[in-house]
Structure 1
């Protein structure tokens, strides 16, 4: 009964995981929005083919555009971090941890990722972004080590 909605730890995971999935998907859409708004930052040469959304493509649309690239970097960072949380979190649920520990870790990861995104979007220093990245990363590492300790000992 660990992976049912009757288990509050699994419900916590479901909420945190769903929020992070929405974060990944939303950041992808934000990148598209920024490309469309600026008419720049296209990623591939074939993007210069005329179409309903880009009737008069120009070669400079393939040049890097910080407005678009910032969103693209945020998306890449999510793709480098959130899948590890999704996997480690589910394995962590299977160890039947306490609800308080699970809530602190899982919601802590969500908050860390959202603060990281806010810091990135508002052009905060690397040190500030790294602080939020590190908090999320350490949470995932803790969950993975917890799983190993639980199953090996």
Structure 2
């Protein structure tokens, strides 16, 4: 696994993001102490009395920043780990991870320092772009297997005489069309040019069936 350059890049940027979450948690605790706004009565009693068991806008802002990190970084950890197994270009993968990491760091600064809008929104959108890209590539890589499995199961559902039910025939044709479309999208993704046909002229689709 450590020989996989993409996974190494993913591990590096993921660790930075996890450390950033720890830093936000520490900042939240420090803001609680400075503002004397505690969530638990025992903490308030230790630091002045039950009157300090209260909410504070600055503490709530830190908590929202931390919650936003969890809502976005945890999905990235899943998508990035799966994406690393697809053998993408190390340079392209590094750009994906770097964009997300930079976007999340800027988002945290904008949240904690109350930077003027739309700084936080722009940073949020920047970090979402590589996530959507990785999710799309994962779907392109895994959907053909799922569709092929579904097609094989549909083909096995035959009448005793070996004739397909009309609904199964339509389902198989739909799956063949989807598989061909996915092949075209994969070719477009790899070459940068949209293929005009699902298969070369004179050759049948690998998913064609005699029904």
TM-score by length of 1: 0.86
Give 2:189's aligned residue. none
Query: Structure 1: where are the runs of 5+ without partners?
Result: none
The aligned counterpart of 1:148 is 139
Alpha-carbon distance change, 63 to 126 in structure 1, aligned in 2, over 3 angstroms? farther
Residue pairs, 1:74-85, within 5 angstroms: 74-85=65-76
- How many corresponding residue pairs? 144
Task: Please give the residue correspondences for 1:1-153 in structure 2 after superposition, counting only pairs within 5 Å.
Answer: 4-40=1-37, 42-45=38-41, 47-48=43-44, 50-51=45-46, 54=47, 56-59=48-51, 61-153=52-144
Q: TM-score, normalised by structure 2?
A: 0.64
Provide the rounded CA distance (Å) in 1 between the counterparts of 2:5 and 2:96.
Answer: 14
SS of structure 1 residue aligned to 2:136: helix
Task: Determine which structure has greater relative contact order: mean sequence separation of CA pairs < 8 Å that are 6+ residues apart, divided by chain length.
Answer: 1
RMSD (CA atoms): 1.6
| C-alpha separation in 1, matches of 2:56 and 2:134 | 37
Q: CA deviation at 1:64?
A: 2.5
4+ long deviations beyond 6 Å: none
Structure 2, unaligned stretches of length 5 or more? Answer: 145-211
